Amino acid sequence: MTPELPVLILIGQPNCGKSTLFNSVAGLKAETSNFPGTTVKHTHSLVTVGDRLLNLIDLPGTYSLNPSDPAEKTALTHLFGEKPDVIINVIDASLLGRSLELTLELLELGEPMVVALNMMDLAEKKGTVIDAAALERTLGVPVVPVVARRGQGVKTLIERALELMAEPRPAPVQAYSGDVEAALGEMESLLPPGFPLTGNGRFTSIKLVESSGLYFEKALAEADPDLKHDLDRIRSELEARRGKPAYEIIAAERHHLSQKLFEDCCRLKPGDRQSPSGKADAVLMHPFYGYLILLAILVGFFFLIFKVGSPLENLLLAPLQSLRQALTVRLGSGSLVFHLVDGLLQGIGGGLAIVLPYFIPLLFLMALLEDVGYLARAGFLLDTFMHRIGLHGKSVTPFILGFGCNVPAIVATRILESRRDRIVTALLIPFIPCSARTTIILALVAFYLGPWWALGFYAVNILLVAVLGRVISMFMKGPSPGLILEIPSLKMPSLKSLVQKTYLQLSFFLKFAWPLLVLGSLVLSLLQFFGADGLINAALSPLVVHGLGLPPELGVTLVFGFLRKELSLLMMLQALGVGTSSLLTVITREQLVVFAVFVSLFIPCLSTFGILWKELGRKVAFLSAALSVGTAVVLSLIVRAIL
Amino acid sequence: MPTPKSLAEIKSNAAVRVVSIEGGRGVRQRLFALGFHIGDRVVLQGHGPFRGPLLVNNLTTGTCLAVGRGIAQRIQVEAEDDA
């Protein structure tokens, strides 16, 4: 057993800059974003501060400790599971009044805690001057002003946390109104010793009183029916006195307490307290210009990625091509050595010359959209359209993330409250062209047929998502809870954070996906050498040749597309035995489109299939696969018939 | 006394006070947690076209929320007394 490391846990409301703070302490480890719920998994990091090794944990953002979506449940589970030595409560200082409500809830735990007042610069812009020292005195826990984006105050924050760890002081109690305190006190006195489910007696009592029908109460009813009886009595007495449900009484208590703290510790500069994004938002979410901007962003990104990627692709392919020719002459095209070397070259070179030129700009632009805070705005604009396909604006974030990679997009469906919405969204995500498919579309369709073809391809793809959404919703009815979505203030993205994020995603590709590409190319080379590819091609020829009208050699490439979508593209050139410059001499433009359509849609890739299984179960994963194969066949046949 | 109206019926850019929030516990608790309470001063900033969601700025807590029309209809507000 290794000695237990001190555990510091970061917890805060969505979008409070928790992950930025985490990054600034931990270096290039976690992902940050300006959208509620993008960190849906918790992230661990071992960091050295001074001469101490610490275990730093970043939890998904949570608005309160009464979770309402799966991402918030994750936060709560880990808060109790990890047994933190110190809790670092990260607060968006520009939303101090609201953020303190979670702080009060956390204080109820009675654990050692430090408050990180993040985004002090934004708060000042909004005209709020916060007296951190006064807040510290009132709360009774250390309060440290921080600007995580620029690394200001981070060192002090960690130092104060370490001081607290050396001399643990439990957080003091913040008292509610007399009648509520009386009810809580009575409840606490009835709890048998050692009963607390979590935290301490007071925390347990508060949760029992406020969360009727939830997990806490069910656990209690099973453990001690008499106590449950007392709880019901205490709660109904309180409710009768106040004429409101208990959860509302406690929520209002916290609200008033935090407003009071806010008023006591803040000075508002005179003038209009308009949100700093107000003017920009009037345009960004305008009923006409808003959509124009949304469209311009999507089309602009597309052309930008193409304009950056395609010259790079050309530039990088040329030396690769000549290297391959030299090898053919040197090794002879029939030898095993040539096949091995060629397989390696295709895999490594293909990844470098065909995938990366498009992949890197796409990652960077996605990171930009997230960091600025545009995703929530897109959710607002697209809410109406999402209702048409049986969802609402909150599903827009997972969808847009899907353009980067379907895997985190499916994980991000955890921000949706209803399971039905999660399933419908997750079934549609595999139809969103991810970066791998964007590569296929750009490197194949745009490269050979021109960017407008590729743009048309995208348009059809998005239309397909809409149609499928409509169809799936017909089968999966269910009340979708209405939209409640926070619109965070717009933030100036920092280049450092964008680069970090791009790098993180890229390193994931280099570590996991690229080796797969190389391995796939190598296997295909060997299959070709031993003539085994013919068998697979023959088996698939009814579909490939008769159905889709493609050359039989492409059969084997489809099989590998299940591993990584780009693999089909690289292997296509390899299987047809041509270089990129002469592709159109062996297949027609129509065949190229049909191939691109089929490969894009025919099955979620292995990782996507895996994450669907993990997040939503086997049934959903197989349903998704069946849906993809069916759609791909039908759509390819239609495309073939039209062209 | 001003008569309460639903949030979906009021004019943009005038501050109003939240009088009541109806609806299921899930929705109400969510609104509370996102910094939207009874008694708060809010401003309707705009709405999405085609019966889209409403953009509501909460002057008391400083948060900005997009709220679907169905939910907005169950939030009663009244004009400020001194207005």
Interface contact B49-A245, CB threshold 8 A: no
Instruction: Report residue A489: phi and psi, to 5°.
Output: -65, 150
Task: Identify the band that residue A320 occupies on the pLDDT scale cut at 50, 70 and 90.
Answer: confident
Please state the pTM of the whole predicted model: 0.84
Claim to verify: residue A71 and residue A214 sit in the same structural domain: no
For the cut 50, the answer to whether the pLDDT of residue A36 exceeds it is no
Interface contact B38-A252, CB threshold 8 A: yes
The stretch A206-221 carries a mean pLDDT of: 74
Paired strand residues for B78 = B17
CA atoms within 13 A on the CB side of B25: 15
Q: According to the model, what pLDDT value does residue A354 have?
A: 79
Burial of A189 (0-12, 13-18, 19+ CB in 10 A): exposed
Q: Which of A74-78, A191-195, A251-255, A525-529 has the highest mean pLDDT?
A: A251-255
Task: Write the single-letter amino acid at A93.
Answer: A
Q: According to the model, what pLDDT value does residue A199 have?
A: 66
The domain boundary residue, chosen from A137, A166, A195: A166
Supply the mean pLDDT for chain A: 84
The total of structural domains in chain A comes to: 3
- Nearest residue in chain A measured CA to CA from B34: A63
Q: Are B68 and B2 in contact (CB under 8 A)?
A: no
Q: What digits encode the pLDDT tens for the residues A39-55?
A: 555 566 677 666 778 88
Residue A453 counted as domain residue:
yes
Claim to verify: residue A197 and residue A149 sit in the same structural domain: no
For the cut 60, the answer to whether the pLDDT of residue A255 exceeds it is yes
Instruction: Report residue A43: phi and psi, to 5°.
Output: -120, 130
Measure in Å the smallest separation between the Cα of A214 and chain B Cα atoms. Answer: 11
Claim to verify: residue A154 and residue A208 sit in the same structural domain: no
Task: Identify the band that residue A34 occupies on the pLDDT scale cut at 50, 70 and 90.
Answer: very low
For the cut 80, the answer to whether the pLDDT of residue A434 exceeds it is yes
Q: What digits encode the pLDDT tens for the residues A52-69?
A: 788 888 888 889 888 777
Interface contact B67-A98, CB threshold 8 A: no
Q: According to the model, what pLDDT value does residue A429 have?
A: 94
> Of A203, A169, A142, A164, which is closest to residue A7 (Cα–Cα)?
A164
The domain boundary residue, chosen from A134, A166, A198: A166
Q: According to the model, what pLDDT value does residue A37 have?
A: 40
- Nearest residue in chain A measured CA to CA from B36: A98
- Nearest-by-Cβ selection for B71 from A94, A101, A484: A484
Claim to verify: residue A391 and residue A428 sit in the same structural domain: yes
Residue A280 counted as domain residue:
no
Task: Write the single-letter amino acid at A118.
Answer: N
Claim to verify: residue A630 and residue A588 sit in the same structural domain: yes
Cα A441 off chain centre by: 24
Residue A306 counted as domain residue:
yes
For the cut 90, the answer to whether the pLDDT of residue A115 exceeds it is yes
For helices A246-265 and A178-190, give the axis angle rounded to 10 degrees: 120
Claim to verify: residue A160 and residue A185 sit in the same structural domain: no
Residue A282 counted as domain residue:
no
Which residue did the predictor score with more confidence, A275 or B63?
Answer: B63
Residue A79 counted as domain residue:
yes
Residue given tokens 């099989």 in the structure block? A559
Interface contact A259-B55, CB threshold 8 A: no
Paired strand residues for A46 = A55
Q: What digits encode the pLDDT tens for the residues A178-193?
A: 999 999 999 888 888 7
Task: Identify the band that residue A626 occupies on the pLDDT scale cut at 50, 70 and 90.
Answer: very high
Burial of B82 (0-12, 13-18, 19+ CB in 10 A): exposed
The stretch A549-564 carries a mean pLDDT of: 84
Count the residues in chain A: 643
The stretch A167-183 carries a mean pLDDT of: 88
Q: What digits encode the pLDDT tens for the residues A141-165?
A: 999 999 988 888 988 999 999 999 8
Chain B contact present for A451, CB below 8 A: no
Which of A274, A484, A489 to mutate to probe the B interface, most B CBs <10 Å? A484
**Using CA atoms, how far apart are residues A36 and B30, in angstroms rounded to an integer?**
13
The stretch A347-374 carries a mean pLDDT of: 86
Interface contact B26-A273, CB threshold 8 A: no
- Residues in B closer than 8 angstroms to A288, CB to CB, are 49
The stretch A257-276 carries a mean pLDDT of: 78
**Using CA atoms, how far apart are residues A67 and A570, in angstroms rounded to an integer?**
45
Chain B contact present for A379, CB below 8 A: yes
Q: Are A147 and A125 in contact (CB under 8 A)?
A: no
Cα A251 off chain centre by: 29
Residue A173 counted as domain residue:
no
Claim to verify: residue A397 and residue A250 sit in the same structural domain: no
Which residue did the predictor score with more confidence, A136 or A84?
Answer: A136
Q: Are A424 and A390 in contact (CB under 8 A)?
A: yes
The stretch A602-625 carries a mean pLDDT of: 88
For the cut 70, the answer to whether the pLDDT of residue A532 exceeds it is yes
Interface contact A487-B66, CB threshold 8 A: yes
Burial of A579 (0-12, 13-18, 19+ CB in 10 A): middle
Claim to verify: residue A12 and residue A45 sit in the same structural domain: yes
Q: Give, as one character, the DSSP assignment of residue A269.
A: P
Interface contact B48-A381, CB threshold 8 A: yes
The stretch A224-235 carries a mean pLDDT of: 88
With pLDDT > 90 as the criterion, what percentage of chain A qualifies? Answer: 26
The stretch A210-238 carries a mean pLDDT of: 80
Q: According to the model, what pLDDT value does residue B16 have?
A: 93
The domain boundary residue, chosen from A109, A137, A166: A166
For the cut 70, the answer to whether the pLDDT of residue A38 exceeds it is no
Q: According to the model, what pLDDT value does residue A2 have?
A: 44
Q: Give, as one character, the DSSP assignment of residue A481.
A: P
Grouping H, G, I as helix, E, B as strand and the rest as coil, residue A480 is: coil
Q: According to the model, what pLDDT value does residue A60 have?
A: 81
For A297-358, the DSSP string reads: HHHHHHHHHHHHHHHHHHHHHHHHHHHHHHHHHHH-TTSHHHHHHHHHHHHHHHIIIIIHHH
- Residues in B closer than 8 angstroms to A417, CB to CB, are 26, 30
For the cut 90, the answer to whether the pLDDT of residue A624 exceeds it is yes
Interface contact B68-A392, CB threshold 8 A: yes
For the cut 50, the answer to whether the pLDDT of residue B83 exceeds it is no
Q: What digits encode the pLDDT tens for the residues A592-610?
A: 999 999 988 887 888 888 8
The alpha carbons of chain B give a radius of gyration, in whole angstroms, of: 12
The stretch A291-314 carries a mean pLDDT of: 89
Which CATH number fits the domain that encloses residue A145? 3.40.50.300
Q: What digits encode the pLDDT tens for the residues A367-426?
A: 898 888 898 999 999 998 888 888 888 899 889 888 887 887 888 888 888 889 999 999
Claim to verify: residue A119 and residue A23 sit in the same structural domain: yes
Q: According to the model, what pLDDT value does residue A214 have?
A: 64
Claim to verify: residue A335 and residue A396 sit in the same structural domain: yes
**Using CA atoms, how far apart are residues A540 and A546, in angstroms rounded to an integer?**
10
Measure in Å the smallest separation between the Cα of B68 and chain A Cα atoms. Answer: 5
Buried b / exposed e over A608-633, threshold 16 CB at 10 Å, is bbebbeebbeeebbebbbebbeebbb
Residue A273 counted as domain residue:
no
Q: Strands of B41-47's sheet, edge to edge?
A: A484-486, B64-67, B54-58, B41-47, B15-21, B75-79, B5-6
Residue A283 counted as domain residue:
no
**Using CA atoms, how far apart are residues A516 and A504, in angstroms rounded to an integer?**
18
Which residue did the predictor score with more confidence, A147 or B81?
Answer: A147
For the cut 50, the answer to whether the pLDDT of residue A31 exceeds it is no
Q: According to the model, what pLDDT value does residue A107 have?
A: 92
For A409-465, the DSSP string reads: HHHGGGG-S-HHHHHHHHHHGGGS--HHHHHHIIIIIIHHH-HHHHHHHHHHHHHHH
Which CATH number fits the domain that encloses residue A250? 1.10.287.1770
Which structural domain range is residue A225 located in? 178-268
Give rounded-to-5 percent helix, strand, coil for chain A. Answer: 70, 5, 25
Claim to verify: residue A582 and residue A462 sit in the same structural domain: yes
Grouping H, G, I as helix, E, B as strand and the rest as coil, residue A565 is: helix
Interface contact A380-B34, CB threshold 8 A: no
The helix (H) or strand (E) run that includes residue A400 is helix A396-402
For the cut 80, the answer to whether the pLDDT of residue A487 exceeds it is yes
**Using CA atoms, how far apart are residues A307 and A312, in angstroms rounded to an integer?**
9
- Residues in A closer than 8 angstroms to B63, CB to CB, are 95, 98, 486
The stretch A102-123 carries a mean pLDDT of: 91
Claim to verify: residue A146 and residue A257 sit in the same structural domain: no
